[in-house]
Each structure stands twice: as structure tokens, then as C-alpha cells.
Structure 1
Amino acid sequence: MKRREFFTSSSAGLLAAGSVLRNQQAAPFSKPRPSAKNIIFMVSDGMSTGTLNMADLLLSRREGRESSWMSLYREQTGRRAFMETSSFNALVTDSAAGSSAWGGGRKVPNGNLNVNADGSFNKPILQKFRQYGKSVGCVTSVTITHATPAGFCINNKSRGDESEIAAQYLDLRFDVMMGGGAEFFMGDKREDKTDLFSAYQQGGYQVVRDRDAMLGLQNLQKPVLGVFCEGALPYALDAAATPDLQKSVPALAEMTRKTLELLSKNPKGFAVQIEGGKVDWAAHSNDAGGLLYDQIAFDEAVRVALDFAEKDKETLVIITTDHGNANPGLFGSDRQFDLLQKFKHTNNWILGDHQEIPSASQLIDRIAFAQGYAIKKDEAEKLVSLFSAKSESGLYIANKPLFRELALIQSHYTGIGWAGMDHSADYVELAMFGPGSEGLKPFVRNTDLHNFMLDVTGTVRA
């Protein structure tokens, strides 16, 4: 065969294989026997493998301990697999299609929440578990109406309609829903002026708006809606340096602990999704401090879940991500990487909320205070020149060129580099701990997890 013919036929074969991979629905799992009463499904949204690796390295060098996730591998107490992440119409998924693959059991187009290309619906898994008598809920460090929690809960053609998603949750009466996104519930922020907080209270919900109220919850006689701020919760690194934020907004691990305490009172069991959503946001902005410290905050929630499961003996913990993002990695020296231990604030804190464009010297001082190193004058001047360059906005940031340039400058000091600012098609880490984990195969599709969760809990496929 001629070389040109070889490559032409090979490319066609790869394209065909990709199409089959995205659309095939048959699961490789042998149907597991029912063995788990509860499911804790944990998602570090947008976590590339390098993110997991570097967070573990940072913990080791800063605190002399390993991450809870990596300890499952080192101690061989959990099962591990690779998972492909494609959507119905693309190798690179978004969070709506990614969560819907688990939530609805079928690949849907990017942007859709359990809505197929032909407009038909797939029943979300938390609705199935609730119908079966289990308590259910979602906890996230971003808006509770965001794509990843919504993918376990509702059907909607557009992930971006968070105001509509907030209204959809009301009648579902899921037991615990916690995160940010107050603007989607507040009458003076919503376009239709509906005060959803009042509607939830009138509908019999316990509505909590701050950390103390959340910690004070005692029972599930009424379902819980916890919304603690507008937008996403603050980055873990910024919150750690801001006492007022720590007092008013709960950490992901705190929300996880309280949610498990509440849901576990149901003798029929529970199913909950826990999302570290700000990992994805930090990856989109190439924010090394935001990324790694939010990954560590997610890992603290993982520890809460694993401790619960170790004591409970009836809980399957699933830990994964919906897709990679930006593919960061450490390429520099130990000394450079150790700068991360001195970080007090994220790139988002450095670059955001300026009343006016800072001078080069002000920016140098701000970065030195926030992250412990002094950039050069010409580097600061380049950043200043980009403050008004908002023609290219990125997800969750208004000025993509500015954040991209800071990340490039920062890499010379920290040794951390980035492949891009968007999702990747990488196969991702999937770990399980607890009853039913023995059924995990070395390689799975994202859609396989839907029926696996139903089967391992003895829940009827509906």
C-alpha cells in the first residue's frame, strides 16, 4: 500500500471508530449484584491528570501527607480505571453533556441536560433514586444550577438557562441542594422578578443562606436548599486568607459532612453528587493557585466521604471528573514549585475587581503580596496593557488575554505550564471505594456509570 493510501484509510478508520465510541450504548460492565445502599458520586470538574498529580505533590511538600484520592492507589484500597468522556456530537465534551452521560445514561449533544439530539428526554438518575425511596441531593462549590449538578437532576435544552433550572428544582423536592447562585433565586436579580427563595420556603423547604445556618441543620423533615452567595463560592485559597468569607460561606468539605449526616438518616439509603466545580473555572483561566488549592479542597471532601464509607460499610464512593481542562503540568524545579506554598491569593484575586487600571508598580506589589514573588517591570507593563483588551473573553473570565499572559509570566516563577485554556478529550481518572467497586473494569465509557449505579444499589432501571 502506498503511504498516502495508508494514511487516508487509517484516518477514515479512526473517524469511524470515534463515531462508534461516542454513540455506542452497550455497557462493558457485567451486571453487578446489589451490594451498596448508598452512592456518593464525587466530581472534580475539569480535572486533568496533572491537576491530581500536582495537588498531591503540593500536599506532600507542604504538609508531609498525601491526598486522599492518591492514597486509594498507593494503599490499594480502591479500584482504578480510565474513562472516556466524549459527548454525542464531539470528542471534547462540555460539563452538561458530561454530567448527563452519568445522569441520564446516554450521550447527549454539548450544552444539553439529558435532552437527546432528537429532543427526547432521558430520566435523570436522582429522580430514579428518589422514586425508589432514597434520599437524594447535590452539593457544589459553584452555582447549584450549574451544568454538573443539573445533569443529575433535570431535563433542559440549554445549560445556560440557570434561572429556569432554579425553578425546575422547586417541584422535584430533592432532599439537599447546596452551593452558590443566589442571583438565580432572588426576585430583584431574576428577569421574571420571581422571588424563588420565598417560593421554596412556602413550598416547605428549609432555606439556609450562610454557614452557621447550614451547620445548624438537624433533620430532613423538610428538604434543604442552601445557597450561600451570588455566583460561585470563593476560591479556597482566597477564602483561607479572608476570615469573613470563612465565617459566612461553608467549605465544600463542611457541606459534604452536613449533607451526609442529613441524608444518611433514611433507612432506604441515599445518593448524592458532590462537585468541586471551581477546579474547572481555575483551569479555564490558567490559575495555578486557584486550581491546586481548590483540588485540595475537593480532596478534603473526598476524605469526608471515605471516612463515612469506611464506618458505614454500605456506601460506594465514586471519584472522577467529567473531562480534562487545560492539561497543566510541572515542568520546572522543586524550588519553583515550592513557591505555591506561599500563595495567599489566586490570579483571579490579583486581576479582578479593580476600580481603575493599576500601574505596573502597583501590579508588581499586588502579585508579590498575593503569591510571594516579584515579576519584572516589563512583565508588569505587558499585563497593564492588556487590562482593557476584553475582545476575547473566556469561560468565567472577562479578559482571556490578560489571564493567559499572567499564567505565562507565572510559569517562569512556578514551573507550571499549560496546554491551553479549554476542555480536552483526555481519558480521565475514575476511582471507586466500597461495596460494588470490585465490578469496576479498567476502561469504561462515561455512560456506563448510570446503569452501574442503579444495578449496584438494586434500583430498578426505569
Structure 2
Amino acid sequence: MPAFLEATASILEGYGKALNQLGSAFRDVMNDRPGQSPDMPEPEMPANDGLAQNVILMVPDGFGTDYSTAFRTFKGGEELPAWEAEEMLTGAIKTHSANSLITDSAAAGTAFATGQKTDNGMISQSPDGQDLESLVDLAEAAGKSTGVVSTSSVTHATPAVFGANVEDRNDATTIAQQFIDNDQLDVMLGGGLQYFTEEKQGGMAASDLLAQAESQGYTVVDNATDLAGAQGDRLLGLFADDAMDTSYGESGEDQPSLAQMTQTALDTLSQNDNGFFMMVEGSQIDWAGHANDAGWAMNDALAFEDAVKIAQQFSEDNPDTLLVIAPDHETGGMSAQSTLDNNASIYQNFTATYEQMYDEAGDRIEAADLKPGDDGAAWIMQDTVAEMTGGEVFLSRDELNTVLTAEDADAGLEALTQTLNEYGGISFSSGGHTAENVPLYASGPGSDIFEGLLDNTEVGQGLAAAMGLEFSDLPGAEVMGIDTLMQGNEMAVA
């Protein structure tokens, strides 16, 4: 046998003897110490048997698939959207309500909050008017803290479904009263001050709900400065009479951003060792869609993304946290058809909504005592649009004429809207909601539940199942159960 083969055989024989001796020693140790080795502690099992201790549901209201496409372009290639950077896309959501192919936010939110369908306009009630059990009910019964954060009034449809049961989404004073009387939500942050204060305080409530909240242990704040210094484990922050500012911050008041509210809510709710459930809504993406204002939609999506990054960091620091991003529906029928010359990145430097631009130009034209057809009026419209788009848009003579010679203000705004959307490669087919599926994103324990094409009720049921909870009032045909929802998710419950 050649010398190199003899050497190889000798080495392999030595390895074999060494492995046999190692195996024998390991068996001896295991026989003396069953179940563990003397030097290696038994691996720790995941807390809560793999269930989610904390659940953060984030709702970008109205954010459809083309919004997602446009937002990626809006960011200009500098970085991916936070949900794409973390590869959170898991599926899509069917959005119809109990009585309509096209849902509203009340019915869609109810599906998320209760795991059941209802008619448009109803807040966590069945179509026949029965109050429905919600995720907040389940979480509270499990000893968890709960909260809602929104850039609309906290009594608006999406946050309302997590703390109230009413027939009509517009009954804001009753919703506010139930929020306080039910005494379940530990954190409420957003707008809607007028619905919590009496008429003599400038509000619409039948009684002083802020005083009642303070007697129930809430810290009450009304500005960003006080929010930053808030203490305690219960927090009510109302930062505007009704809706908060858009992402452009047009009022100049001391209002917190959605990201700031999200951070404070997490700091407050995470004081509970039993965990928490929290809903965060980027409300005004939807309102921008109704206005067909792509610039506003993209900038409010950016504000929402900042809040998502806060939640992602919390999830990274607390791996027992499930993060789900679920739009309730699509708004406006957006179509994103970008070109190199016309794409959504142009909206990065916008500082006002289209309506604010149009109104400001109109005010300046009126102050100059000019008529819309005057050359001076065209210069003012041009300068105003250029100023409020960060120098990105200079309207042509034909575009200016179309805007300024419209038959009325509504038509003028519509002309400006269409023009500014064309600059961004965006078009809309509707001023309302649509029936299209919307994207679904998830990460953390239980995220496998949200894979595939789901009904919006399955999102609500899945959120409960991820916490090891289950709705007790589901009709038989709708009961999915924890075992069913967890199929294919063995790693999450191991």
C-alpha cells in the first residue's frame, strides 16, 4: 500500500477510536445525570409556550397594494420600506363586510377586533345589534394591558371598535363615554378632545370625562411636551379637538407624531408583566386616498413607517412580541405607473396637501385683488405650488389655465389634483373605498398564522390565537380555534 494511503488509514482509525471514546463518555455522563450534561444547562423553552406575550396591530388605513408600490418609489431607492426590509409580507386580506362588497372602516375594524363580520357603519356589534366580544375583552381577562393610538379622533371607526359597541360609527360622544365607563383601555392617544369635555368646556360630552378618567387612574395630557414626561401605567392623551394634524403639521401646535405616541404607548403598556395588546392606526392615509392626494398619502405613509420602526425595535428587544401590519381596505383605486421622469419620489419635498396649496394660492390671489384669469394670478399660483412642492413642480401655462379657469373651486382643485398626481405617475379611479385585497405583514411568534389569502375575520381570530386566546361568541361556521389557526406553525408553539 502506498505510504500516503497507509497514513490516511491510520488517521481515520485514530478518529474512529476518539469518536467511540467520546460517545462512551457522553453515555456515561447521561446515565449518571439523566436529562442534562454537567457542563451544559438544559436549553430554556420559549416563554408562554411560544405564544405571543405582546401583540401590536398596526393599521395603515386605506393602504392598498399600489400604495405599497408607490411608497417604495417615494423613498427614492435609498432604503426599502420598513416592512419590506424585514421581509414581513406574509399574505393578503379579503375586505368585504357583511352587507357590502366594499367595506367601510367600521366593519373592517370590527372584523379585526372581534373576528366577526358586521354591516358597514357598525362598531363591534353584529348586524342584528348584539354587542360582540373584542380582543380588548380577551386581553383584559387574561391580565394584559390594552391600548389604542390613532392620528384621527380616538372615537373614529378603527380605534372605536376596540373599546366600544355602538350601532352608528358617528355616535362619537357615546363611544367616548363607553371608553371611560368600560375602563378597559389603559392607553388612548390621538385626537377627539371635544368628545370627552362638556359644553361649558367647549366640548360635546354629557359630563366631564377627563375628570372621570383621572379618578380612574389615568394621566391626562394634551400636548407633546407633557406626553414626553407622562408617568404611570394608564394614559389618556388627546391632542386636538377632532382629528390631529396631517403629517405636514400644518397647525404648528405641540402635537406628537404617530411614532412618538407609539413609543410612549409601548413604554406604558410594557410595564405589565402579563403583556399587552395594542392597536396603532395611521388614519390619514385613507383620507388622502379619498382626496386622491398622492403626495399626502405618501407623506402620511412615511409617518406611519416611522411608527412601524418603533414597533420593530420593540419586537427585536422583546422577541415574545407579535407585530402585524394590516390595512383595513384600499382607498381611491390608486394606480402607480412610475416612469423615470414621473414617479412618487417627487412627493418627498411636498409641504402641504393639494387642497392647502390651492386654498393658499386662492387667498394670495384675493389679497392681491386679482381675478383668476389675470396674468398675475397665474404667477401667484405658480409660485405657491413651486413653494409648497419644494421646487419640484413648475406648472405649464396650459396647466395653470386649466386650474385657474375651472368653473368653480371644486373643479379647480380637481384639476390641480390630477396634474400633481400625473407628475408622480399616480392615478385614482375612485373617491371612495374599493373591494381589492390588501397586503398583510407579520413577524414574531404566531406570524405563520397570517400566511396566505385571509378573510379579515381570520386576522382578528389569528390575533387572539397568537396570544392563546379565543372568542367565545363566534358562530359555529366561523370558529377556527387555536389548533386550526396554529396548523403549520409548530415552531411558534414549541
Greater relative contact order: 1 or 2 (C-alpha under 8 angstroms, separation 6 or more)? 1
Runs of 5+ consecutive residues of structure 1 not aligned to the other structure = 1-31, 390-398
The aligned amino acid for 1:212 is: T
Tell me which residue corresponds to 2:196: 185
Determine which of 113, 116, 120 is the counterpart of 1:110: 120
The aligned amino acid for 2:142 is: Y
2:98 and 2:266 map into 1 onto residues whose CA distance is: 33
Tell me which residue corresponds to 1:25: none
Question: What secondary structure does 1:130 align onto?
Answer: helix
Tell me which residue corresponds to 2:85: 71
Structure with max Cα Rg: 2
Residues 359-405 of structure 1: per-residue CA shift (max 9 Å, x gap): 4433332211101322245544544466855xxxxxxxxx5x55433
2:189 and 2:94 map into 1 onto residues whose CA distance is: 28
Q: How many residues align?
A: 408
Shift of 1:215: 1.0
Tell me which residue corresponds to 2:484: none
Contact 1:179–1:227 under 8 Å retained in 2: yes
Contact 2:65–2:439 under 8 Å retained in 1: yes
Determine which of 191, 206, 209 is the counterpart of 2:219: 206
Residues 325-359 of structure 1: per-residue CA shift (max 9 Å, x gap): 11323324323324223322221321357769754
Within a 5 Å distance, the mapping from 1:209-228 to structure 2 comes to: 209-220=222-233, 223-228=234-239
Shift of 1:205: 2.1
Alignment of 1:94 onto 2:94: no
Contact 1:46–1:321 under 8 Å retained in 2: yes
Tell me which residue corresponds to 1:232: 243
Within a 5 Å distance, the mapping from 1:22-421 to structure 2 comes to: 35-61=51-77, 64-73=78-87, 78=88, 80-173=90-183, 174-188=185-199, 189-191=202-204, 194-220=207-233, 223-236=234-247, 238-239=248-249, 244-245=252-253, 248-337=254-343, 338-352=345-359, 358=366, 359=372, 360-361=377-378, 362-371=380-389, 372=391, 373-384=393-404, 401-421=411-431
Shift of 1:209: 0.1
1:187 and 1:181 map into 2 onto residues whose CA distance is: 13
After superposition, the Cα gap between the structure-2 partners of 1:415 and 1:449, relative to the gap in structure 1 and judged at 3 Å, is closer
Shift of 1:195: 3.4
The aligned amino acid for 1:70 is: E
1:211 and 1:42 map into 2 onto residues whose CA distance is: 21
Contact 2:69–2:336 under 8 Å retained in 1: no
Question: What secondary structure does 1:100 align onto?
Answer: helix
Question: What secondary structure does 1:69 align onto?
Answer: helix
Shift of 1:184: 1.8
Alignment of 1:430 onto 2:446: no
Contact 1:48–1:326 under 8 Å retained in 2: no
Residues 279-327 of structure 1: per-residue CA shift (max 9 Å, x gap): 0000100111110011011111111111111110110000110001113
1:129 and 1:138 map into 2 onto residues whose CA distance is: 13
1:279 and 1:287 map into 2 onto residues whose CA distance is: 9
After superposition, the Cα gap between the structure-2 partners of 1:272 and 1:403, relative to the gap in structure 1 and judged at 3 Å, is farther
Contact 1:357–1:384 under 8 Å retained in 2: no
1:153 and 1:125 map into 2 onto residues whose CA distance is: 9
Question: What secondary structure does 2:342 align onto?
Answer: helix
Question: What secondary structure does 1:305 align onto?
Answer: helix
After superposition, the Cα gap between the structure-2 partners of 1:348 and 1:183, relative to the gap in structure 1 and judged at 3 Å, is farther
**TM-score with structure 1 length normalisation?**
0.82
1:333 and 1:448 map into 2 onto residues whose CA distance is: 37
Residues 12-49 of structure 1: per-residue CA shift (max 9 Å, x gap): xxxxxxxxxxxxxxxxxxxx976111100000000111
Question: What secondary structure does 2:323 align onto?
Answer: strand
Shift of 1:193: 5.7
Contact 1:99–1:322 under 8 Å retained in 2: yes
The aligned amino acid for 2:294 is: A
Contact 1:85–1:426 under 8 Å retained in 2: yes
After superposition, the Cα gap between the structure-2 partners of 1:192 and 1:44, relative to the gap in structure 1 and judged at 3 Å, is closer
The aligned amino acid for 2:150 is: T
User: In terms of mean alpha carbon deviation, does 39-48 or 122-131 score higher?
Assistant: 122-131
1:357 and 1:158 map into 2 onto residues whose CA distance is: 42
Q: CA RMSD in A?
A: 2.3
Tell me which residue corresponds to 2:39: none
Residues 140-173 of structure 1: per-residue CA shift (max 9 Å, x gap): 1111110001112211100011122111111222
1:405 and 1:422 map into 2 onto residues whose CA distance is: 18
1:348 and 1:131 map into 2 onto residues whose CA distance is: 46
After superposition, the Cα gap between the structure-2 partners of 1:387 and 1:290, relative to the gap in structure 1 and judged at 3 Å, is farther
Residues 180-230 of structure 1: per-residue CA shift (max 9 Å, x gap): 12222232344456433333334432110000111112321xx21101112
Determine which of 449, 457, 460 is the counterpart of 2:467: 457
Question: What secondary structure does 2:55 align onto?
Answer: strand
After superposition, the Cα gap between the structure-2 partners of 1:279 and 1:138, relative to the gap in structure 1 and judged at 3 Å, is same
Determine which of 416, 432, 443 is the counterpart of 2:453: 443
2:386 and 2:288 map into 1 onto residues whose CA distance is: 20
The aligned amino acid for 2:80 is: E
After superposition, the Cα gap between the structure-2 partners of 1:79 and 1:366, relative to the gap in structure 1 and judged at 3 Å, is closer
The aligned amino acid for 1:347 is: Y
**TM-score with structure 2 length normalisation?**
0.77
Shift of 1:432: 0.8
The aligned amino acid for 2:122 is: N
Shift of 1:418: 1.4
Tell me which residue corresponds to 1:21: none
Identity of matched residues, %: 30
The aligned amino acid for 2:313 is: D
Residues 101-129 of structure 1: per-residue CA shift (max 9 Å, x gap): 01111110000011222121211221221
1:50 and 1:34 map into 2 onto residues whose CA distance is: 34
The aligned amino acid for 2:119 is: P
Tell me which residue corresponds to 1:13: none
After superposition, the Cα gap between the structure-2 partners of 1:254 and 1:284, relative to the gap in structure 1 and judged at 3 Å, is same
Runs of 5+ consecutive residues of structure 2 not aligned to the other structure = 1-47, 367-371, 473-494
2:62 and 2:75 map into 1 onto residues whose CA distance is: 20
1:387 and 1:402 map into 2 onto residues whose CA distance is: 7
Contact 1:45–1:278 under 8 Å retained in 2: yes
